[in-house]
Amino acid sequence: METTQELMQEHAAVLVALEILDKVATAVAQKNERAPEHLEQLLDFFKGFVDRCHHGKEEDVLFPELVRRGLPREGGPIAVMLSEHEVGRSHVRAMADGLRRLSGGEAAAAAVIRDHADAYRSMLQAHIHKENNILFPMADRILSADVDRSLKGQFDAIERDRIGAGKHEAYHAMLHNLKEVYEIA
């Protein structure tokens, strides 16, 4: 299905961002002067691309359609995914707060950033694995080609309306740049 393929492609970008986050959190702790700027860029990616766009596609389009098709919202994989989205949001908020505190001169905030970066990375990697290997194959079995086309149109509208024209590409360019800075293959 085109919709689940799109979400998995987005997951690939998120996994790259998580690799970069690991390097950036280390650089923040080592007082690299560019690292806070890089962390700010990643936080924008996590808030804009991951949460507003990617999670928006899942929470507002795919998951409700799966519920309409008989998957339970509570007590099943959708409930787990929604709960993990909330956990991820809390880690991103904590890293943003840590960055604000670090910018205010609180040196101990670097450890807070590191801790939440590690927890976010670990949780999101496992989350992506579950979606790619459990939930999305279920969706592919449940959804018809006609429904998939309808969902794809809704995905396109979310991307356009929530992050704006060209922003998707800008996020990918930012990730490419940070991969080079932090020497990630």
Q: CA triplet 120, 21, 134: central angle to 5 degrees?
A: 45
- The answer, as to whether pTM is greater than 0.75, is yes
Residue at token pair 């908020």: 93
**pLDDT tens digits along 31-73:** 999 999 999 999 999 999 999 999 999 999 999 999 999 999 9
Summary mean pLDDT of the chain: 95
Rounded to whole angstroms, how far apart are CA atoms 135 and 113?
A: 30
| Tokens encoding 169 | 């590409």
**pLDDT tens digits along 117-130:** 999 999 999 999 99
The average pLDDT across 67-86 equals 94
Question: pLDDT tier at 185 (50, 70, 90 boundaries)?
Answer: confident
**pLDDT tens digits along 90-120:** 999 999 999 999 999 998 999 999 999 999 9
Rounded to whole angstroms, how far apart are CA atoms 155 and 54?
A: 9
Confirm if 131 and 6 have CB atoms less than 8 A apart: no
Dihedral angle computed from the Cα positions of residues 113, 115, 119 and 121, in that order, rounded to the nearest 10 degrees: 50
pLDDT at 165: 84
Residue 124, number of CB atoms within 10 A of its CB = 23
End-to-end CA distance of the chain: give it in Å, rounded: 29
The per-residue DSSP string of 11-26 comes to: HHHHHHHHHHHHHHHH
Rounded to whole angstroms, how far apart are CA atoms 29 and 35?
A: 9
Number of domains the chain contains: 1
Question: Which residues make Cβ contacts (< 8 Å) with residue 94, sequence separation at least 6?
Answer: 112, 116
**pLDDT tens digits along 142-181:** 999 999 999 999 999 999 998 888 898 999 999 999 999 9
Q: Which of 118, 6, 108 is nearest to 57 (CA)?
A: 6
For 115-118, the CB contacts below 8 A with 24+ separation are 116/91, 117/21, 117/22, 117/24, 117/25, 117/91, 118/22, 118/25
User: Measuring CA to CA, how many Å separate 98 from each of 22, 36, 43, 51?
Assistant: 15, 10, 11, 19
Question: Which CATH number characterizes residue 142's domain?
Answer: 1.20.120.520
The domain in which residue 105 lies consists of 2-181
